[in-house]
A and B are shown apart, each in its own frame.
Chain A
Amino acid sequence: MIQFKALLKKELKEAFRDKRALMVAMMMAIMAPIMIFAMSKMMIKEMVSTPAVYVKITGSEYAPKLIKALADDNIKLFSDVPTDDAMLWDERNIQLTIPETFAQDMMDGKRIDVYLNADFSEKSMSAPLRRIKAAINQYAQTIGYKRLLVRGIDVNLLRPVNLIEQDTSSPSSNFLMISMMLGLYLLMAAFMSGLSVAIDTSAGERERNVLEMLLCQPVSTLKIVLAKLSCASTIAFIGVLLTISLTFASIGFVDLTKIGASFSLDLSAVVIIVAMLLPICFLASALQLFFSFQAKSFKEAQSSVTMVVMIPAMLPFIMTFIDDKPKWFDWVPVTGQSLIMEDIFKGLAVDWTNLALTTLITIILTAVLVVTLAKKLTSEKVVQSLS
């Protein structure tokens, strides 16, 4: 035990010595809340605000009430555009053409064709165009209903079947986007935060000839591996803790209610998530150590480990594209945890058997990696990076 303690102390000392490298490693954790904060703010703004839209309307004088209906939705005539925005809206060039016969056709009950010309593929135009369409459809529908009503027709005839949707999910209103991003970032943090430390303590030490000296000491290779693992996973775990706490702190500054959403987790949910991610941190560090010892050089380790490690970290992201998730996703490390986190964010009950199973498999996998690595370190090939 004393030996292990000494080894761990040495590893931690080395990891924390280079403060700037550590800071960069923790960037991941700080990035997450900033990203989530910025993206939510942007989305809210896009969903809530109805900034003025300026449309070049030809024939506006033929349909004053339609123009008024548009103005009520903050859709205005191009002639009223403030000089600052004139360039922009001139370039966007949204054109609405109202026919000269509008008044007569309205009185005659004929269909009136109004033309909307714009670049529909331009992304920045989608919101203004959607609003113009909605406003005109609403205007037309109201007139249509009234036309039927004053002819003595029950307007309900237009809706023979009324579909009533009933959502059976639990009434938690946690904002889906934040849940998804937080889940991704937590797993990324577990995999990325300890990465540089893991590479440095393995491939790095080998190149600096520290490893050889260490192996000369009368300690078992298992203890050495465990110490390195503990050190790297501690850093990873700190990354996870930072991500989750900073995210919560930053979410408080976003007014999600504006879009009818909120984000809150109770203490027990946070505890479960953090506890569940602890074994993942160990697995991540074990994988990183394993692959960087496999690499020939420090350089190779840096690129290959990053590549190899990205795969499990990206799994949850890939999973969002799979609709029918196979059963084994429930207990495979990373995907299992990811699915349980999804349930927690949705306010569903935690499936304890799945949680136990996936945690057990994660631990077993970590143990196998550690034991294999300890065995490998007794071989000259690995220590001298010969193949």
Chain B
Amino acid sequence: MREYWKKILTIGLLAYSSQSFALTEKLTIEDCHIDGIKQQVKCGTLQVPENYQQPNGTQININFAVIPAIDRTQNKEPLMFLAGGPGQAAAEIAATLRQGFTEVRKTRDLILVDQRGTGKSHPLQCDEVEGNSPYTSIPEELDLEDVKQCLAQLEGDLSQYNTENAIRDFDAVRAALGHEKITIYGGSYGTRAGLVYMRMFPQSLSAVVLDSVGPIEVPIGTFGQSSARSFNMLLAHCMEEESCKQAYPDLAQEFATVIERLEENPITVTITHPRLGTPTEFVISRLKFISTIRMQLYSVEMRTMVPLIIHQAFLGNFAPLAGLTAAQESSMGMYVGLLFNIVCNEDLPRISDEMWRKDADNNFGQDASHLAWKTVCPIWPQYRLGESFYQAVTADIPTLIISGDVDPVTPPSNGDYADKSLPNSKHIILKNSAHTPGPSTCAIDIIDEFLTKKDPNDLDESCLEKIPSESFMTSLNGSI
């Protein structure tokens, strides 16, 4: 009996000593609040070198948040979330993730690291340009002066804000928190980061979920074909639903007509400002129309409105488009500086003229998604990663790959690339689902099961059958 007590005491001590071990002077952790989460979570920063080749050079602080598991007694490896973009700050979307990952969070800590260049980790952000209203400005008139002004604001050695260094930061946070192994979930660009993580630190990962894959072999930036595919599926699904077909029998034709009209000249209308209620000019150009529609293709909920928006635009009513512009204005922030820094340097150089041309050969936006890259990237400061960065990843780690069938940016074919090169993976395609469907009811259960079993080929996928078909809004007042 006495020995038993001694054992309990030693276990207690071990638990404490491993905790204090992690608290090096470069790491700070405290209780904090994050918008949208009522309970306190842990916030921390870890000091890392800006340039890992010069460990004693300039230091930057990597910001992270840990949402503690509901039941921590099971001691399961935590889940680190790798955000999308590039340019999304993981800790800023903590509330959304906390809700989406409830199932996982029950027994695992969620670790949210702001990738360097985003959030509170040395953000590369440009201030909003004064007087640049989203209602009057159009993408065609992208001002290079604005970009230059933005560049002038950015601090630090931009060449260090690349994907590989971001992964070094992530793994440093993992080590500093005292975890030998973690599981990761990457969404969108986060899958690219995840793949690089798998290659650089395979020993740190016990299971990987890649949701809407951006494989290393497919450069980010050519969204022409994938958007067109997603858009055409939307048109087809509308024709499959009786009420949608009845309301918009000539939807494809109407879309073409609107584009035709806008190609001649941008249209200017006077609207009531969506927020202020005052009369406001609203300029609609071809690119603005296409990019607004394209943004709606990302989510199933927003896709329900697309036929209506097209039809109303065809009738000359651009109010729905103004409403969407307002909704976008208040939506989540993207750290544009980091977005361009990574895409312009790691992906754009890999796209040949032939690839650009092929990508533009589509019936939705042609080269609409190319313009921003082609304008901004030539003046962006350059860095190059080694050729080895672009090799397919072959790490032998259990990996679950998820794709949404109607995704406009990372179509299921992207997931196939990763599935082919990874030796222990399974690719699941969710029908009638768009970009990053991971947190949806069906997928999250599969993810949770996978993280526990760590065998991608032994999962209950029965719910995949039950995903409902797309349904659309058939009038300004809704549909029945």
A166-B33, A168-B40, A262-B70 given as contacts; is B478 within 8 A of A147 (CB)?
A: yes
Alpha-carbon distance between A309 and B246 when the two chains are bound, in angstroms: 78
Chain A residues, CB < 8 A from B352? none
Interfacial chain A residues near B272, Cβ < 8 Å? 152-153
Chain A window 133-169, contacts with chain B (Cβ cutoff 8 Å), 1 for yes, 0 for no: 0000000000100111111111111000000111111
Q: Pick the residue among B8, B12, B40 that contacts A170 (CB under 8 A).
A: B40
Question: Is A106 in the interface zone, CB < 8 Å from B?
Answer: yes
Known interface pairs A164-B36, A167-B38, A173-B70; A151-B319 also in contact (CB < 8 Å): yes
Q: Is the CB of B70 within 8 A of A260?
A: yes
Residue interface bits B33-57, CB-to-A below 8 A is 1, else 0: 1011011110000000000000000
B305 at the interface (CB under 8 A from A): yes
Contact of A65 among B33, B475, B479 (CB under 8 A): B479
In the complex where A155-B327, A164-B36 touch, is A146 in contact with B305 (Cβ < 8 A)? yes
Closest to B42 in A: A171
- Would you call B38 and A151 a contact (CB within 8 A)? no
In the complex, what residues of A have CB within 8 A of residue B33's CB? Answer: 166
Q: Are B106 and A260 in contact (CB under 8 A)?
A: yes
Chain B window 286-317, contacts with chain A (Cβ cutoff 8 Å), 1 for yes, 0 for no: 00000000000000000011001100100000
Q: Which residues of B contact A152 (CB under 8 A)?
A: 271-272, 274, 318-323, 326
* Chain A residue at minimal CB-CB distance from B275: A154
A357 at the interface (CB under 8 A from B): no
Identity of the chain A residue whose Cβ is nearest the Cβ of B67 in the assembled complex: A171
Q: Does B330 contact A (CB under 8 A)?
A: yes
Q: A257's contact among B107, B275, B305, by CB below 8 Å, is which?
A: B107
Which residues between 189 and 242 of chain B lie within 8 Å of chain A, taking CB atoms?
none
Return the chain A residue nearest B39 by Cβ.
A167
A158 vs chain B, min Cβ distance (A): 12
The reply to whether A171 and B31 contact each other, CB–CB distance below 8 Å, is: yes
- Measured between C-beta atoms, what is the minimum distance from B400 to chain A in Å? 22
Contact present for B475 and A107 (CB under 8 Å): yes
- Give chain A residues whose Cβ lies under 8 Å from the Cβ of B93: none
Q: At the interface, yes or no: B71 with Cβ under 8 Å from chain A?
A: yes
Q: Is B68 an interface residue (CB 8 A)?
A: yes
Residues of A with C-beta under 8 A to B12: 266-268
Q: Which B-chain residue is minimally distant from A262 (CB atoms)?
A: B71
In the bound assembly, the distance between CA atoms of A267 and B11 in angstroms comes to 11
Closest to A152 in B: B319
Does residue B420 face the partner (Cβ distance < 8 Å to A)? Answer: no
Whether A156 touches B330, Cβ cut-off 8 Å, given contacts A150-B312, A151-B476, is yes
Let me know if B320 and A149 touch, CB within 8 A. yes
Kindly state the separation between the CA atoms of A147 and B305 in the bound complex, as whole angstroms. 10
Residue of B nearest to A258 (CB): B106
* Nearest CB of chain B from residue A257's CB, rounded to whole Å: 4
Q: Is the CB of B70 within 8 A of A261?
A: yes
List the A side residues contacting B17 at CB < 8 Å. none
Alpha-carbon separation in the docked complex, A155 to B478 (Å): 16
Q: Which residues of B contact A93 (CB under 8 A)?
A: none
Q: Is the CB of B480 within 8 A of A149?
A: no
Per the bound structure, the CA–CA distance linking A264 and B72 in Å amounts to 9
Bound complex: CA A82 to CA B479 (Å): 31
Q: Residues of B contacting A103 with CB < 8 Å?
A: 480
Asked if B473 is at the interface of the complex by the 8 Å CB criterion, the answer is yes
Taking a contact as CB atoms under 8 Å apart, the answer to whether B68 and A171 are in contact is yes
Q: How large is the interface on A (under 10, 10 to 19, 20 to 34, 35 or more residues)?
A: 35 or more
A150, A164, A171 — most chain B CB neighbours (10 Å)? A150
B477, A107: Cβ atoms under 8 Å?
A: yes
- Whether B410 is near chain A, meaning CB under 8 Å from some CB there, is no
Q: Does B102 contact A (CB under 8 A)?
A: yes
Whole-angstrom distance from the CB of B19 to the nearest CB of chain A?
Answer: 13
Point out the residues of chain B lying under 8 angstroms from A168, CB to CB. Answer: 40
* Chain A minimum-CB-distance residue to B478: A143
Pick the contact of A166: B38, B71, B275, B320 (CB < 8 A).
Answer: B38
Q: What is the distance, in angstroms, from A119's C-beta to the closest C-beta of chain B?
A: 30
Residues 165 to 197 of chain B near chain A (Cβ within 8 Å): none
User: Taking CB as reference atom, which chain B residue is nearest A66?
Assistant: B480
B324 in the interface (beta carbon within 8 A): yes
Residues of A close to B473: CB separation below 8 A: 146, 150
Contact with A along B66-98 (1 / 0, CB 8 A): 001011110000000000000000000000000
CB <8 Å contact, B323 and A262: no
Residues of A within 8 A of B329 (CB): 154
Chain A nearest CB, measured from B297 CB (Å): 16
Residue of A nearest to B479 (CB): A65
Query: Do A150 and B480 contact each other (CB < 8 Å), given the known contacts A166-B38, A260-B106?
Result: no
With contact pairs A164-B35, A167-B39, A256-B71 given, residues A150 and B106 touching in the complex (Cβ less than 8 Å): no
Report if A157-B275 is in contact (Cβ < 8 Å); known contacts: A146-B478, A150-B305, A171-B40. Answer: yes
Interface centre among A143, A149, A266 (most CB of B within 10 A): A149
What per-residue 1/0 map shows which CB atoms of B455-480 lie under 8 Å from chain A? 00000000000001001010111111
- State the CA gap A336–B370 with chains docked (Å): 71
Give the distance in Å from the alpha carbon of A252 to the alpha carbon of B290 in the complex: 56
Given A108-B477, A164-B35, A167-B40, A257:B323 Cβ within 8 A: no
Q: Are B478 and A148 in contact (CB under 8 A)?
A: no
Bound-state Cα–Cα, A312 to B91, Å:
50
Residue contact A147 to B70, C-beta cutoff 8 Å: no
A153 and B320 alpha carbons, distance in the complex (Å): 8
Q: A237: CB under 8 A from chain B?
A: no
In residues 240-268 of chain A, which contact B (Cβ within 8 Å)?
A: 256-258, 260-262, 264, 266-268
Q: Check: A64 CB closer than 8 A to any chain B CB.
A: yes
A64 to B468, CA, bound (A): 14
A153 to B278, CA, bound (A): 11
9 A-B residue pairs with CB within 8 Å? A146-B473, A147-B477, A151-B320, A152-B272, A153-B323, A153-B326, A154-B327, A164-B36, A260-B106
Which 6 A/B pairs are nearest by Cβ-Cβ distance? A152-B319, A257-B106, A152-B322, A262-B71, A149-B323, A154-B326
Chain B residues in the interface with A (C-beta under 8 A): 8, 12, 31, 33, 35-36, 38-41, 68, 70-73, 102, 106-107, 271-272, 274-275, 304-305, 308-309, 312, 318-324, 326-327, 329-330, 468, 471, 473, 475-480
A sample of 7 more A-B contacts (CB under 8 A), given A154-B329, A164-B36, is A68-B468, A102-B480, A150-B476, A155-B323, A171-B40, A257-B71, A260-B70
